[in-house]
Amino acid sequence: MKELKHDPHAVEQEEWKKRQWKERGKQLLTIASPVFILLLWEVVSRTGIVDARFFPPPTEIVGTFVSMSASGELFHHIGISLVRIFAGFLLGVIPAIVIGLFMGLYSPIRHFFSPLIMALMPIPTLALLPIILIIFGVGEVSKIVTIAGSVFFPVVINTVAGVVNIDRIYLDVATNYGADSKNFFFKIALPGALPVMLEGIQMGQAIALLTIVAAEMMGANSGIGYLIWTSYKAFLLPEMFVGLVLISFFGYLFSLLLRGLQSKLLPWR
Amino acid sequence: MKELKHDPHAVEQEEWKKRQWKERGKQLLTIASPVFILLLWEVVSRTGIVDARFFPPPTEIVGTFVSMSASGELFHHIGISLVRIFAGFLLGVIPAIVIGLFMGLYSPIRHFFSPLIMALMPIPTLALLPIILIIFGVGEVSKIVTIAGSVFFPVVINTVAGVVNIDRIYLDVATNYGADSKNFFFKIALPGALPVMLEGIQMGQAIALLTIVAAEMMGANSGIGYLIWTSYKAFLLPEMFVGLVLISFFGYLFSLLLRGLQSKLLPWR
Amino acid sequence: MKISMDALTKVFYKKGQSVTALEGINLGIEDGEFVCLIGPSGCGKTTLLRILAGLEKPSTGEFAIASSGQDRPLQSMVFQERGVIPWLTVKENVSFGLKMRHVPKAIVKERTAYYLEKVGLDKFAHLYPKELSGGMKQRVSIARAFANDPEILLMDEPFAALDEQNKFILQEELLSIWSETKKTVLFITHSIDEALLLSDRILLMTSQPGRINEEIRIDMPRPRTMEDVRSDATMTDHFVRIRNHLDREVQGSRT
Amino acid sequence: MKISMDALTKVFYKKGQSVTALEGINLGIEDGEFVCLIGPSGCGKTTLLRILAGLEKPSTGEFAIASSGQDRPLQSMVFQERGVIPWLTVKENVSFGLKMRHVPKAIVKERTAYYLEKVGLDKFAHLYPKELSGGMKQRVSIARAFANDPEILLMDEPFAALDEQNKFILQEELLSIWSETKKTVLFITHSIDEALLLSDRILLMTSQPGRINEEIRIDMPRPRTMEDVRSDATMTDHFVRIRNHLDREVQGSRT
Amino acid sequence: GGQSDDGGTVGTEDGDLSPLDKKTTVLIAEDGAASGAGFYIAEEKGYFDAYNIDVKFTKFANSDDMLPALAAGEVDIAGGISTASFFNAIAQGIDVKIIADKGHYFDGASYFSFVVREDLKDKIKDYSDLKGKKIAISSRNSVDDYIYHKMLEHAGLTEDDVETVIMSDFGNMLAAMGSGSIDAALQIEPLITQGEKEGLHVRFKDATDFAPKAQIAMVLGSPDFVKKDKDVSLRFMTAYLKGVRDYNDAFLKDEGKEEIIDIMTEYTALKDPALWEKVAVTGLDPDGAMFVEDIKSQYKMYKKNGATRGDFDFEKSVDTSLTQKAVDILGEYK
Ligand SMILES: Nc1ncnc2c1ncn2[C@@H]1O[C@H](COP(=O)(O)OP(=O)(O)OP(=O)(O)O)[C@@H](O)[C@H]1O
Ligand SMILES: Nc1ncnc2c1ncn2[C@@H]1O[C@H](COP(=O)(O)OP(=O)(O)OP(=O)(O)O)[C@@H](O)[C@H]1O
Ligand SMILES: [Mg+2]
Ligand SMILES: [Mg+2]
């Protein structure tokens, strides 16, 4: 029964490799689950369990995707939207982090801003479009601002939560060792809030994608969002689904990238 | 220079009262900040710094509100929307918490679901409406489902983050003391994840309000969202702003209620 | 044999780097024995306890804990980091293990009250941990293990930051529980005096990688007092021997 | 007088309930003095240190710390809960105070390396705290305070869970730093031996509410060894006196 | 709906139809536009009730959202503008029927027409002046796009001569006028009148200059409703035309205008009766007749632009039989 293995290093290395494999297995799961959903969709669509007129099977969407790509126009749409998404994302995330840190650290600031945030957050983007139009016109800026506006909220809320949840002892240590406010910010509040903040950024990333349709509903001539709503309006559902699947795909891709970034940024966990 | 106060209890009670006052001061700030914004808006609108045609001053909106309330119809709109929001909120939050806890505790489940969540989250509600319509019809259910669908995401993400961030030592203690999975869930995972989860719920609350407009864009005859988009379509901006301000107001109110709930639920902080 | 370990080795491995925390631990502990574990900081004591507590898996080698088949938990641990759960009150923390085992309410209540009184925290039963001093948190964690009434107590420096008197009271309490219930106790401490006072056997560990390279059987009759321990010649010999051992180990690991 | 306290009282008040942690503390500590604070668990020792560290405000009474006007921090604290920051490596934790004070990089590097070696953690400099044992974390937190080179060291049970040898090394280190730099040290411990070994003066505190009701001046010439302390008759008297004091206090607070 | 066919197309003495035996509910999807006048009036004046039809209105923000609901039988009747969307939906087997007129132009007073920015009203006098300007339309491959191209053609311009801005919402166009980021727009009533009142834009000529016989919006019926419930659908259509005729009486002949405006203010977002005197009202044919040729030519344009998928059978999808039968019962409108 007892089979002695003589090199614990080898065993533990083996164990580690197994864990790495398991990790890879989980990553496989991460890849498998969308594939699984697509397969399921294909089946229920083909067998008529769902109405194929409204949910064309993925293979048909792929076909549409291929024929759309052929013209190269699709990549133009993707490129333009990605630029808008990145710009809007950054424009939303950076102030959200800064304001969130201040709010987390100074309770009067928190008490002043949080009702505003809570009151502004539920305002539908759709209703903000005319306001944004008036202030920023129909150009690129208005689209970027629209995205930034909706990215801002989840990031600021999670940043505040992150800061407020930092264990008091670390704040005491920083105070006792005479951290000035800059160091307090960058050495304690920022890294301490980071885990929860990153979840907010993860959400913000999804919301940037979510908002691209609304942003490109005003005065756009291209972009994935434009593609989606014009296809939808024209009842070209396979084309619309190409747009939606692209959005999903980027949501998935960006979240993987952010997860990667996360383990880089949080080596101490 | 040294004036000895002889009763430290009294002093500390005084101190505590002062803190209570300060708390109240901060609460005042919480009330003052929306008032401040409204005042600012009134001024810039009245003085023409912003275009009053697009941003009617709050007093005008209040006037519209009063005349709309007079008929009692407004309260009908509010009542209907609140029911939908509550129902949708609950229908989104409860599964999000359950799934989130499972995802947080079991990494294969996490790896399976998180790409799906990340891929589905950026799908715009607008594009989902026809799908929801086909599955759930034009009745109340479809509106509630629409809201539930968007509430789900922030709550599930923050629940997972909350669980994953629980200090390992508490998991070790639970394991060592033989907690079964039910107790692990309710005594460790749930309360440990609660602070971060509540931020997700706070966000979910705002998103429920945010989505009411989209939800009431299909097959509705009443509700705040309905009021907003019909007014907007008719370019009746004061009426639209009444709707928006109502949304904001409820966002603010609900967030205060949730904050209250938070301090009740987290007495140990 | 209550606990038996056979060539137990634990390596922490991460990306090409490895730390050998424990190496070839062979050990048998009799039922009802009180064993103390002494060794320099970082030598693997906590790791050993965590393996017995089922929180860590050995790399190679095996261990077994014999169950008496009674309706009692096999082992409970007092953690070095305390692990007092912040969202439970003092009372809820102490009754945690009992509740996990679905012990009848009345018994939970009675035992919790009993041990809260023993550790002197009955007045603080309804406070949350954040309102306690460091030593009080430590007592909560000890009361939790006692209340759970396991066959084996695994205690990782339980009395480390207690004041002398509370330490004394709790040592007494531990010994009386031990002798009444015939528990097996595995106890980590840095205090040689404490080890001499409490144990049937003291195991000395080497610094990294942790091995057990000496064991000392303490035959002094019980009950022992600290005065007895300090005045007894054999005990003084033991004291010096352990001290020298530690001296060597720490010096060795520091150069 | 380096530190002076005048009728210092601290009450924790919350919704009608109040706990008197400290009552009427009158105390003067000379520049360069080494003072130990002993008292039962929960008597207010940590609270007293936190007040001096500027982390808590006294309810009534006053205190003052005289500054020497040098470019050195006034005080640094070793926390009972350690407060090793999890997102900084061992090295970054040790250099934390220096960096906060914008000390030139070269000096930071040198001093950090010096104290890492002193506490025996030079090999672990690049690890994160989660990979350390309990005692190693404790040493990180001590090295951080030493490296910061303050005028006053406030130490809350710094050596509580260290093994004897590391404790011994660090006690030596603390004393040598103290005598070289003429720091003032306020030191909380539960070990009477440790207090006798280290201090110029020992303050005994009563249990809740914490008052200083006795002080013992230790005149034994330095350097002292533990053997000296244990064999010296006056010291044994002191030991017994302190022990009895604690006995009374703990018994009193428990009934 | 749902009614057995023996309730009879049996007429009453005055040639009108008898009420249904069983009360039947008809669900109408609406987007709150003035073009639903026929429904609102028929409901308020009890024409539906008289046939024992109970109508329920349900609102959608967008006529495109109604198509799935219609196809799935969630609603029986919908109103919508002509877009490629219809044709695509129908071509993909969503068997929706176009059954009656729901909007065309009144000569010289188009309810769906171009506007130019207030400060440009002196610069843009004629269609050709639009050269180089920024023009907003609400969507591609829809009647908007069709009218837009008709206008460009009329002006002797091509799309390369102007800058086209697609804005999903008419309200957003007003906002964009306010910020000066567009110069002209294809706008709809009542926003045309409101925008003029607010000094944002001015009406620019009239769409009937170049597209007099454009079919803007139509009444759509769900396949089940049109095909299976003949008794109900015929009665429904008859009542609807009665309503439409009252509407024409009011706005063309000034008969009973006050009552009609009352109804309109109740059902649409335009709550100011005085404004109803000013707006260019939607043309609704009293016999429900449509410009079928124009629908065909719109379809051709979408097809040319590659915006349609599959083939569209006008014979199958445009069903004028209901209106014809209803007119037989009601007699020609004079
Ligand atoms: N934040 C707080 N709120 C309420 N009570 C507190 C708080 N902090 C400390 N106390 C109380 O003050 C008293 C003194 O606490 P303190 O931490 O100073 O004790 P201590 O002497 O350091 O004890 P130990 O040796 O156990 O660390 C205790 O009764 C404790 O419950
Ligand atoms: N999770 C981990 N990852 C990597 N190394 C670890 C981990 N846990 C412990 N170690 C290493 O294993 C060794 C033994 O650690 P352990 O906690 O068992 O020591 P210990 O004897 O309890 O020390 P102390 O008396 O200081 O508590 C140490 O060198 C430590 O750095
Ligand atoms: Mg340990
Ligand atoms: Mg303390």
- Note the pLDDT tens digit of each residue in D130-156: 889 888 998 999 999 999 989 999 999
Portion of chain E with pLDDT greater than 70, in percent? 96
**What is the distance in angstroms between the Cα of A21 and the nearest Cα belonging to chain D?**
23
Helix (H, G, I), strand (E, B) or coil at B122: coil
Alpha-carbon Rg for chain E, nearest whole angstrom, is 20
**What is the distance in angstroms between the Cα of A151 and the nearest Cα belonging to chain B?**
12
Q: What pLDDT score does B216 carry?
A: 85
Q: What angle do CA A98, A103, A104 make, to 5 degrees?
A: 100
pTM for the whole thing?
0.86
Torsion of CA B114, B116, B119, B123, to 10 degrees: -120
> What is the number of the ligand 1 atom nearest to the C-alpha of C135?
26
CATH number reported for the structural domain that contains residue D170 in this entry:
3.40.50.300
Q: Which residues contact A70 (CB under 8 A, 6 or more apart)?
A: none
Q: Are residues D226 and D171 in the same domain?
A: yes
Closest by Cα among B245, B211, B260, B254 to B37: B245
Nearest CA to ligand 1 atom 31: C132
Specify the DSSP element, H or E, that contains B63: helix B58-70
Beta carbons within 10 angstroms of residue B4's beta carbon: 9
Looking at the CA of C19, which ligand is closest?
2
Q: Are residues D48 and D133 in the same domain?
A: no
d(CA A237, CA E92): 10
Mean pLDDT on C150-157 = 93
Closest by Cα among B245, E300, B125 to B237: B245
Q: Are residues D129 and D192 in the same domain?
A: no
Using CA coordinates, name the residue in chain C closest to D130. Answer: C81
Mean pLDDT on C158-177 = 87
Dihedral sign from CA coordinates of B23, B27, B33, B39 = negative
Find how far residue D239's CA is from the centre of its chain.
20
Q: Are residues D18 and D122 in the same domain?
A: no
User: B58-265, what's its fold?
Assistant: MetI-like fold (1.10.3720)
Report CA(D136)–ligand 4 centroid distance (Å): 20
Phi–psi pair at D57, nearest 5 degrees: -105, 135
Q: Do D18 and B13 touch (CB under 8 A)?
A: yes
Chains D and E contact (Cβ–Cβ under 8 Å for 3 or more pairs): no
Specify the DSSP element, H or E, that contains C36: strand C34-38
Closest by Cα among D118, D100, D97, D101 to D177: D118
Report CA(B16)–ligand 1 centroid distance (Å): 18
CB of A73 less than 8 A from some CB of E: no
Q: What pLDDT score does B160 carry?
A: 93
Q: Are residues C19 and C140 in the same domain?
A: no
**What is the distance in angstroms between the Cα of D140 and the nearest Cα belonging to chain A?**
13
CB of C40 closer than 6 angstroms to any ligand 2 atom? no
Model confidence pLDDT, tens digit, residues C197-231: 999 999 999 987 889 989 999 999 988 888 888 88
Q: Are residues C88 and C177 in the same domain?
A: no
User: What DSSP designation does E207 have?
Assistant: G
Helix (H, G, I), strand (E, B) or coil at C35: strand
CB of B235 less than 8 A from some CB of D: no
CB of D132 closer than 6 angstroms to any ligand 2 atom? yes
Helix (H, G, I), strand (E, B) or coil at E318: strand
Q: How confident is the model at residue B100 (pLDDT cuts 50, 70, 90)?
A: very high
Q: What pLDDT score does C104 carry?
A: 94
Q: Are residues C92 and C206 in the same domain?
A: no
Model confidence pLDDT, tens digit, residues E16-49: 778 888 888 888 988 777 888 899 999 998 899 8
> Is the per-residue pLDDT at B3 higher than 70?
no
Beta carbons within 10 angstroms of residue E245's beta carbon: 21
Q: Are residues D157 and D244 in the same domain?
A: yes
User: What domain count does chain D have?
Assistant: 2
Q: Are residues C102 and C216 in the same domain?
A: no
Chains D and A contact (Cβ–Cβ under 8 Å for 3 or more pairs): yes
> Is the per-residue pLDDT at E92 higher than 80?
no
Q: Are residues C168 and C244 in the same domain?
A: yes
> Is the per-residue pLDDT at D44 higher than 50?
yes
pLDDT-wise least confident of D170-174, E49-53, E301-305: E301-305
Q: What pLDDT score does E1 carry?
A: 34
Domain boundaries, chain A: 58-265
Q: What pLDDT score does D111 carry?
A: 94
Report CA(D46)–ligand 4 centroid distance (Å): 4
Q: What angle do CA B214, B216, B220 make, to 5 degrees?
A: 155
> Is the per-residue pLDDT at E275 higher than 90?
no
Which of D132, D149, D166 is the endpoint of a domain?
A: D149
Q: Domain limits at C49?
A: 3-74+152-254
Mean pLDDT on E132-138 = 90
CB of B185 less than 8 A from some CB of C: no
Q: Are residues D24 and D47 in the same domain?
A: yes
Which of D149, D168, D187 is the endpoint of a domain?
A: D149
Q: For residue A53, give Cα distances in angstroms to A43, B133, B135, C203, E99.
A: 14, 14, 14, 76, 23
d(CA C111, CA C108): 5
Q: What pLDDT score does D255 carry?
A: 59
CB of B165 less than 8 A from some CB of D: no
More confident residue, C203 or D1: C203
Strands of B113-248, DSSP E: 218-220
Which of D128, D149, D170 is the endpoint of a domain?
A: D149
In the complex, which subunits touch A with 3 or more CB pairs below 8 angstroms?
Answer: B, C, D, E
Mean pLDDT on D120-128 = 91
Pocket test for ligand 1, best of D14, D19, D22, D80 (most atoms within 8 A of CB): D19
Using CA coordinates, name the residue in chain A closest to B157. Answer: A199
Q: Which residues contact E27 (CB under 8 A, 6 or more apart)?
A: B138, E55, E56, E58, E74, E75, E76, E77
pLDDT tens series, chain A, 269 aa: 344 456 777 777 777 888 888 888 887 888 888 888 889 989 988 888 877 777 888 898 999 899 888 888 889 999 999 999 999 999 999 999 999 999 998 888 888 888 888 888 888 887 788 788 888 888 889 899 999 999 999 999 999 989 988 888 899 999 999 888 889 889 999 999 999 899 899 989 988 988 888 888 777 788 998 888 888 877 778 888 899 989 999 998 998 899 889 888 988 87
Report CA(C211)–ligand 3 centroid distance (Å): 15
CB of D40 closer than 6 angstroms to any ligand 1 atom? no
CB of C136 closer than 6 angstroms to any ligand 1 atom? yes
Portion of chain D with pLDDT greater than 70, in percent? 99
Nearest CA to ligand 1 atom 16: D44
Alpha-carbon Rg for chain B, nearest whole angstrom, is 23
ipTM: 0.85
Q: Do B118 and A252 touch (CB under 8 A)?
A: yes
> What is the number of the ligand 1 atom nearest to the C-alpha of D205?
21
Q: What pLDDT score does E6 carry?
A: 40
Q: Do B8 and D12 touch (CB under 8 A)?
A: no
Q: Are residues C67 and C119 in the same domain?
A: no
Q: What pLDDT score does B6 carry?
A: 67
Model confidence pLDDT, tens digit, residues B175-202: 999 888 889 889 999 999 999 899 899 9
Looking at the CA of D209, which ligand is closest?
1
Model confidence pLDDT, tens digit, residues D24-40: 899 999 999 999 999 98
**Residues E62-100 as b or e (16 or more Cβ within 10 Å = b):** bbbbbbbbbbbebbbbbbbbbbbbbbbbbbbebbbbbbb
Helix (H, G, I), strand (E, B) or coil at A56: coil
**Residues A65-99 as b or e (16 or more Cβ within 10 Å = b):** beebeeeeebeebbebbeebbebbbebbbeebbeb
Question: Best mutation site among B1, B4, B12, B14 for testing chain D: the one with the most D CBs within 10 Å?
Answer: B12
User: What DSSP designation does E142 have?
Assistant: B
Q: What pLDDT score does D164 carry?
A: 79
